[in-house]
């Protein structure tokens, strides 16, 4: 059970996802990008894996922090190992980030599952083996026939309903789109989607992230007339007071925080302050499955739902082991991309969805990634 090695395999994978100057994903030509697989190995030859951008698990971080905490330790001591890494963040000169903690924690959970030949959600204590997915649409764009107009959103929403989705979340237009942000255009897109899918499909919005309180209020009041389930990250989440103000002025549930730092500790403050109606967590956002579960249980103790940010096996493990969340975020989706094609370095989808809109949690050992080890070896660059 003793960890004897921590290593990283960097390889090339092909994608059509491109990030804009604000980091939002959009479709584009096929291109190759570097991806990293973190490998944690024990004395008896068992290995656990997680995937991250190469810079998240770069040699400096692995050698200066991760190896020093993990090597020689019992891999089952995830809580202590996570706490030790989290405590080192303060003195790391901002080099040890929550993303790195997440990569390590996920690989440790994967190692536990693979060692015991059990899926992680069963180790945590599963609540379900399938969960409804909402289709999380990419941020709007200026691509002809893409997501350039409210009508584009409406047409795409109809296709998502035909695929089986019972919930749809719009990321509306944001800079660098030339004319964004624009609350009235956001509301036109939301109205077009509601018109296209009818009253029974659950709708949510995730908008701009830097609207003012007044703009967010106008947006929220418009969404109330359209019967949306929640409004998400319309303002800068560094201002918890703004969300407390917005929540007190809207009937539509306010959900968050997604991108705010501070892990489960800061999310406890959002709950205590009444800043949101629905809490949010995400494995990458709070530093792993371990703190994501802490956030989920925190929300439950306050009678709140907690919705999990992001797709992928790691987030699905959290969703599958909690009663107080209603959805799995499946995406990001775009008319020009085929999400169900998956990734070339995995031999199966981590989140297969049936025609009724349910994602079935894989019962593969670990976090459930079907890793194509041969592809990774054949495409290694480091
Ligand atoms: O900002 C973005 O690119 C998207 O909002 C992205 O983070 C998406 O995953 C999200 O926020 N989901 O809720
Ligand atoms: Mg979001």
Which pLDDT value is given to residue 49?
Answer: 99
Q: Which of 147, 206, 208 to mutate to test the pocket of ligand 1 (most atoms within 8 A of CB)?
A: 206
Q: Which of 310, 312, 331, 333 to mutate to test the pocket of ligand 1 (most atoms within 8 A of CB)?
A: 310
Q: How far, in Å, is the centroid of ligand 2 from the Cα of 82? A: 25
Residue 330 CA: which ligand is closest? Answer: 1
Enter the ipTM.
Answer: 0.94
Cis peptide before 352 (omega within 30 of 0): no
Using a 10 angstrom Cβ sphere, with 0-12 exposed, 13-18 middle and 19 or more buried, the burial of residue 72 is: exposed
Number of other residues whose CB lies within 10 A of the CB of residue 108: 26
Residue 103 half-sphere exposure, CB side, CA atoms within 13 Å? Answer: 24
Q: Which atom of ligand 1 is nearest to the CA of 23?
A: 3
Pairing outcome for strands 25-42 and 3-19: antiparallel
Count of residues in the chain: 382
Q: How far, in Å, is the centroid of ligand 1 from the Cα of 25? A: 9
Which pLDDT value is given to residue 112?
Answer: 98
Number of other residues whose CB lies within 10 A of the CB of residue 275: 24
Cis peptide before 257 (omega within 30 of 0): yes
Q: How far, in Å, is the centroid of ligand 1 from the Cα of 86? A: 24
Q: At what angle do helices 78-89 and 98-116 cross, to 10 degrees?
A: 170
- Local mean pLDDT, 10-residue blocks, the chain (382 residues): 98 98 98 98 98 98 98 98 98 98 99 98 98 98 98 98 98 97 98 98 98 98 98 98 98 98 98 98 98 98 98 98 98 98 98 98 98 98 96
> From edge to edge, which strands make up the β-sheet containing 47-52?
3-19, 25-42, 47-52
Q: How far, in Å, is the centroid of ligand 1 from the Cα of 136? A: 9
- Cα separation, 363 vs 368, in Å, equals 7
Q: Which atom of ligand 1 is nearest to the CA of 209?
A: 1
Which pLDDT value is given to residue 195?
Answer: 98
- Cα separation, 367 vs 346, in Å, equals 13
Q: Hey, whose CA ends up nearest to atom 3 of ligand 1?
A: 24
Number of other residues whose CB lies within 10 A of the CB of residue 270: 23
């Amino acid at each position: 059970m003793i960890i004897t090695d921590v290593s990283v395999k960097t390889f090339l994978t092909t994608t059509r996802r491109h990030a804009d100057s604000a980091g939002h994903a959009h479709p584009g030509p096929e291109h190759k990008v570097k991806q990293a697989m973190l490998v944690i190995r024990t004395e008896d030859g068992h290995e656990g894996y997680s995937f991250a951008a190469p810079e998240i698990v770069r040699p400096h971080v692995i050698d200066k922090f991760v190896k020093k905490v993990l090597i020689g330790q019992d891999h089952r001591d995830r809580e202590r190992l996570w706490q030790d890494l989290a405590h080192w963040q303060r003195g790391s000169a901002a080099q040890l980030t929550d993303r790195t903690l997440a990569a390590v924690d996920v690989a440790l959970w994967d190692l536990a599952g693979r060692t015991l030949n059990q899926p992680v959600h069963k180790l945590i204590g599963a609540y379900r083996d399938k969960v409804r997915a909402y289709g999380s649409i990419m941020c709007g764009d200026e691509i002809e026939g893409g997501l350039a107009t409210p009508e584009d959103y409406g047409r795409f929403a109809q296709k998502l309903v035909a695929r089986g989705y019972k919930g749809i979340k719009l990321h509306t237009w944001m800079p660098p789109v030339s004319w964004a942000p624009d609350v009235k255009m956001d509301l036109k897109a939301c109205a077009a989607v509601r018109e296209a899918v009818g009253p029974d499909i659950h709708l949510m919005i995730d908008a701009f992230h830097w609207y003012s309180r007044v703009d967010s209020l106008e947006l929220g009041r418009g969404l109330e007339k359209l019967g949306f389930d929640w409004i998400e990250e319309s303002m800068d989440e560094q201002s918890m007071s703004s969300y407390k103000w917005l929540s007190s002025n809207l009937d539509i549930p306010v959900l968050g925080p997604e991108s705010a730092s501070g892990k489960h500790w800061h999310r406890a403050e959002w709950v205590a302050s009444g800043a949101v109606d629905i809490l949010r967590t995400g494995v990458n956002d709070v530093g792993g499955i371990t703190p994501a579960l802490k956030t989920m249980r925190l929300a439950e103790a306050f009678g709140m739902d907690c919705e999990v940010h992001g797709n992928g096996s790691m987030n699905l493990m959290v969703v599958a082991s909690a009663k107080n969340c209603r959805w799995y975020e499946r995406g990001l989706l775009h008319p020009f991309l085929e999400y169900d094609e998956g990734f070339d370095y995995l031999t199966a989808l981590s989140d297969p969805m049936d025609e009724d809109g349910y994602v079935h949690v894989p019962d593969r050992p670990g976090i459930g990634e079907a890793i194509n080890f041969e592809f990774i070896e054949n495409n290694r660059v480091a």
